[in-house]
Amino acid sequence: MCGIVGAIAKVNIVPVLLEGLLRLEYRGYDSAGLVVTNDGLHRLRTTGRVTELRKLAAEQKTSGLAGIAHTRWATHGEPSERNAHPHFSGEELRIAVVHNGIIENHEDIRIFLKKQGYIFTSDTDTEVIAHLIAFKLKQATDLMQAVCLSIAELQGAYAIAVMEETHPERIVVARNGAPLLIGVGKDGNYVASDSSALLKTTRNIIYLEEGDVAEINSQEYRIVNCLHKQTGEAVDRIVHESSISNEAIELGPYAHFMQKEIFEQPSAVANTLEMVFNAQSISANLFGNEAEKIFSRINQVLIIACGTSYHAGLVARYWMESVAGLPCNVEIASEYRYRDPIADPDTLVIGISQSGETADTLAALSYARKLGHLYSLAICNVPESALIRQTTLRFLTRAGPEIGVASTKAFTTQLASLLLLAVTLAKIRRHLSPEDEKKMIAALRHLPLALHNVLQVESQVKNWARNFAQKRHALFLGRGVHYPIAMEGALKLKEISYIHAEAYAAGELKHGPLALVDSEMPIVAIAPNDQLLGKLKSNLQEVHARGGELYVFADADSHITESKNLHAIRLAEHAGLLSPILHTIPLQFLAYHVALEKRTDVDKPRNLAKAVTVE
């Protein structure tokens, strides 16, 4: 989704803006632009990549001491130069605005502003903000006040950065529902929608809160909160030191971030579970101070998430039932928020999200609260995200920044966290003997090594990729807890290789999808040596008998023999509860290598964005 960078310093800030935009590229975008002040406002916009913007800046020798920049993921209006940000208001004394998010009441405001004589040159909701601020500036003492007055009229979730031609010495920003932060530097101050944009410039970060409006100049910043008062009340916000290393956001020896992130999974899971590794027993406090009290009170679990995080929730349902003995529902956030579900206050509502900024997940969780759910838990990878701040309990997946759009290490760390949660709930609810608790801790300690061992299958999976790259469709089959893993495998393949892939619970095959099976339809099956293996083998026979080509990920002890049209890759012996986590890795490799064969943009697949901050 869109990204914002702003900078004001005593030196030329164009390199900082461009470097920041490059760091935000992973979020997904279809146009980019910047504006700097240097004897007036100078704007550059392109529907190309950030490197194109850099080329334009070099050609036009663009420089300045203050500027704002943006990568746009189109919502209102097609991706085009005239819709790219920054947007202006005014012919001579101009206001420039960049914006993330959506203004829901933009139509009403547009009608009002047109009546006031403002002329619109784009199809965006952002241009409405620029004209509204220009209009309010006529009544306000300064830009900061005009922004406060304007945001009182804006509905929706957004973050904005604003500059004024006549006052090049300051940038004003506002946050409401979309992330925005200030970077405090030695020789200047900065703003961005994501801290990775600023890490090369400063590590001192202030995370703005809902309703905050801030003004920065090259030496200072001031922040007011306009949530309740239009004039704003001065507020203090803590300066955090970012602990994200430069290596965490650099590609290093890898070809793609996705590849790097697949290989980081053993260490990401080890970091996530570190507190358990060093303990003799599992403590509910890992999930927050009130966790023990809440965990002993609840009688069911409700999981809300989107995409890959939703798949993690689907896996967790099996663990909640079998390990913790708790009923568990799993909901797609964008569906749940528009239903009329019956709330039971003794439910633990879990929001799972890598980014912690997914608009649907955030809205569904606040809807659950409105319905009367009292207890909520966030499982999230971003410490300062909106999700983490809105739940009673929280658990951080410590996967480090995930930059590839296709989620990999976030998924396996979510699974590790959810298994730990199921075991913790089982313990608190006396479903787990001390011996079984010890066995579980031992299994979790073994997980990073087990993941490391699965990574060795890469070359075998790669051998399958060329054949897949020729196909237009693929089916993924799994049973039980491995059915959601099949869903995740299909999602990975479609999002980065653009091959249509669907997952089915293998038992469902004969109820319809079997009609699709022919030699052109590769069928991927996950065949661990669990209690459903016999049933799955019968389902695979049904495919084999109809000339389908099977690609099976089995365990060493699954006893599946290769034959004509049946290819098999074996992992280690069956890993019990850890099995779905381990069986994820070969499917990630499959998607990755098929995408390489097809020469797609692995880290930035078309039309997709990393953090989906709009509905």
| Cis peptide bond prior to 179, omega within 30° of 0 | no
CA-to-CA distance for 592 and 600, rounded, in angstroms? 10
Helix (H) or strand (E) holding 350: strand 347-353
CA-to-CA distance for 215 and 171, rounded, in angstroms? 6
The residue (of 27 and 136) whose beta carbon lies closer to ligand F6R is 27
The residue (of 163 and 493) whose beta carbon lies closer to ligand F6R is 493
Residue 264 CB, shortest distance to ligand F6R, in Å, is: 16
By CB under 6 A, which span of 127-135, 142-150, 261-269, 351-359 interacts with ligand F6R? 351-359
Residue count, binding to ligand F6R (CB under 6 A): 15
When CB distances to ligand F6R are compared, the closest residue is 307
Q: Please, is 76 exposed, middle or buried when counting C-beta atoms within 10 Å of its C-beta (0-12, 13-18, 19+)?
A: middle
Residue 358 as a binder of ligand F6R (CB under 6 A): the answer is yes
By CB under 6 A, which span of 242-250, 303-311, 522-530, 596-604 interacts with ligand F6R? 303-311
Residue 199 CB, shortest distance to ligand F6R, in Å, is: 20
Residue 406 as a binder of ligand F6R (CB under 6 A): the answer is yes
CA-to-CA distance for 390 and 385, rounded, in angstroms? 9
Residue 355 CB, shortest distance to ligand F6R, in Å, is: 3
The residue (of 303 and 406) whose beta carbon lies closer to ligand F6R is 406
CA-to-CA distance for 170 and 2, rounded, in angstroms? 22
Nearest residue to 210 via CA among 177, 238, 180, 237:
177
Is residue 427 flagged as an active site residue?
no
By CB under 6 A, which span of 263-271, 347-355, 391-399, 524-532 interacts with ligand F6R? 347-355
Residue 296 CB, shortest distance to ligand F6R, in Å, is: 29
Residue 420 as a binder of ligand F6R (CB under 6 A): the answer is no
Residue 309 as a binder of ligand F6R (CB under 6 A): the answer is yes
Contact (Cβ atoms closer than 8 angstroms) between residue 45 and residue 31: yes
Region at 207 (left for phi over 0; alpha for psi -120 to 50; beta for the rest): beta
Helix (H) or strand (E) holding 7: strand 3-9
Instruction: Return the ∠ at Cα 86 (arms to 14 and 402), rounded to 5°.
Output: 70
CA-to-CA distance for 249 and 201, rounded, in angstroms? 14
Helix (H) or strand (E) holding 190: strand 188-192
Residue 361 as a binder of ligand F6R (CB under 6 A): the answer is yes
Q: How far apart are the first and last CA of the chain?
A: 11
Residue 353 as a binder of ligand F6R (CB under 6 A): the answer is yes
Contact (Cβ atoms closer than 8 angstroms) between residue 524 and residue 587: yes
Residue of 125, 495, 530, 549 interacting with ligand F6R (CB under 6 A): 495
Q: Please, is 138 exposed, middle or buried when counting C-beta atoms within 10 Å of its C-beta (0-12, 13-18, 19+)?
A: exposed
Residue 603 CB, shortest distance to ligand F6R, in Å, is: 11
By CB under 6 A, which span of 102-110, 178-186, 349-357, 427-435 interacts with ligand F6R? 349-357
Residue 413 as a binder of ligand F6R (CB under 6 A): the answer is no
- Other Cβ atoms closer than 10 A to 511: 9
Residue 363 CB, shortest distance to ligand F6R, in Å, is: 12
Catalytic residue among 2, 226, 328, 380: 2
Residue of 3, 188, 307, 580 interacting with ligand F6R (CB under 6 A): 307
CA-to-CA distance for 181 and 384, rounded, in angstroms? 10
Residue 100 as a binder of ligand F6R (CB under 6 A): the answer is no
The residue (of 62 and 308) whose beta carbon lies closer to ligand F6R is 308
Residue of 47, 354, 497, 588 interacting with ligand F6R (CB under 6 A): 354
Contact (Cβ atoms closer than 8 angstroms) between residue 488 and residue 311: yes
Residue 407 as a binder of ligand F6R (CB under 6 A): the answer is yes
Residue 53 as a binder of ligand F6R (CB under 6 A): the answer is no
Q: What is the 3-state secondary structure (H, E, C) of 517-560?
A: CCCCCEEEEEECCCCCHHHHHHHHHHHHCCCCEEEEEECCCCCC
Residues within window 532-591 making contact with ligand F6R, judged by CB under 6 A: none
Is residue 610 flagged as an active site residue?
yes
Catalytic residue among 136, 260, 492, 610: 610
Contact (Cβ atoms closer than 8 angstroms) between residue 154 and residue 103: yes
Binding stretches for ligand F6R (CB under 6 A): 306-309, 353-355, 358, 361, 406-407, 491, 495, 611-612
> What is the set of active-site residues?
2, 610
